Amino acid sequence: MLKVGVIGAGHWGPNLINNFHNHQKSEVAWVIDRDPARLERVQLRFPDIKVDAEAETAIGDADVDAVVIATPTSTHHPLVRAALEAGKHVMVEKPITDAVDTANELVALAEKAGRVLMVGHVFVYNAAVQRVKQYLDDDALGRMYYISMVRTNLGPIRVDVNSAWDLASHDISIANYWLDAEPVSVSGIGGAWINPGIEDAVFATLRYPNDVLVNMHVSWLNPRKNRDITLVGERRMLTFDDMSISEPIRVYDKQVAEQTTSPDFVDSFASFRMSVRDGDIAIPKVASGEPLRSECEHFVDCVLSGNAPLTGGREGTAVVRALEAISRSVANGGREEAVTG
């Protein structure tokens, strides 16, 4: 039985507490939050869990095997470092930290200590995202041309990170996972209207190896909750709508291809050579499942088995590398920036 301490019981933390406490192989020993009102709510719902205001209480408890961190991004680095230094396994919410150098430091620390460091990139554990990955691994779409991703909603508005760090962190983790690569360069434009210097909407384009373009539109200042992704491949196209519970994926047998037979009518040489093929649309069945549950189970399994997590510190750092480059580009008015670090 893995004993877990959860630090941060705000909006997201209670979901993690619930999953780790209602698990066959783990239980939550401590919940830590600086806000007494949050702790009161936790105590009402989980009377058998101990609570405290100081992270050190859970991190310093010899009975605690793993620490799960769901505090604001700006606090991740010192908390993860303290937990790793105390010999704990760590699962930290996305993004791993707010800078590449601190993320690199945590990866090195975890590797030296031989502890699991996992980042809560929950979409990688989404059954539909995994189904798309299967299509790509099977080369069902052909050569990938571009991916377009839209993630918008009205709120929650953050004050410690901008909408790219909060929302595009999901999309970058998905794109890196699908393409098995990280972007080479990025360009981004953002607008800060609610709080000075904190972009409420960011439009970013990421260049991946092999000429694949990934475009992201993220915003917490939008009337519609949108979670829309389109993948355009040479042979097929695919849409993923995370708002659709029963039919999230559609595979379009559509392509632009060179003519093999002479068409009846052409109006130019270009349209003579290339023509569109408009075939069937398939809606595959996607196993229903709770991504956060799968993510938490994966963390427990990795701790118990010693296996490397799918979204470990290195994968989390790759996301931060891209985010840092997007921030540089936004600060430079959209100039293309190399992804480095």
Residue ranges that bind ligand NAD, judged by CB under 6 A: 7-13, 32-35, 38, 55, 70-73, 75, 93-94, 120, 122, 166
Nearer to ligand NAD, 158 or 236 (CB): 158
Nearer to ligand NAD, 7 or 28 (CB): 7
In whole angstroms, the minimum distance from the beta carbon of 240 to ligand NAD comes to: 16
Helix (H, G, I), strand (E, B) or coil at 217: strand
Q: How far is the CB of 166 from ligand NAD (least distance, A)?
A: 6
Which residue is at the shortest CB distance from ligand NAD? Answer: 10
Neighbours of 152 (CB within 10 A): 19
- Rounded CA-CA distance 201/220 in Å is 7
Q: How far apart are CA 192 and CA 144, in angstroms?
A: 33
105/237 with CB nearer ligand NAD: 105
Q: What's the closest the beta carbon of residue 78 comes to ligand NAD, in angstroms?
A: 8
**C-alpha span between 153 and 227 (Å, rounded):** 9
User: Which residues make Cβ contacts (< 8 Å) with residue 248, sequence separation at least 6?
Assistant: 128, 240, 241, 242, 286
Q: Is the alpha carbon torsion for 79, 160, 19, 248 positive or negative?
A: negative
| Residue (16 or 116) nearer to ligand NAD, CB | 16
CB of 81 to ligand NAD, least distance (A): 12
Q: At what angle do helices 13-21 and 291-305 cross, to 10 degrees?
A: 60
- Contact 129/177 with Cβ under 8 angstroms? yes
Shortest distance, position 132 Cβ to ligand NAD, whole Å: 18
Question: Least distance from C-beta 120 to ligand NAD, angstroms?
Answer: 5
CB of 268 to ligand NAD, least distance (A): 48
Nearer residue to ligand NAD within complex by CB, 73 or 239: 73
Helix ranges (H only) for the chain are 13-21, 36-45, 55-59, 76-85, 100-113, 127-137, 163, 169-179, 269-273, 291-305, 313-331
Q: What is the DSSP string of 139-172?
A: TSS-SEEEEEEEEEEE-PPPSSS-HIIIIIHHHH
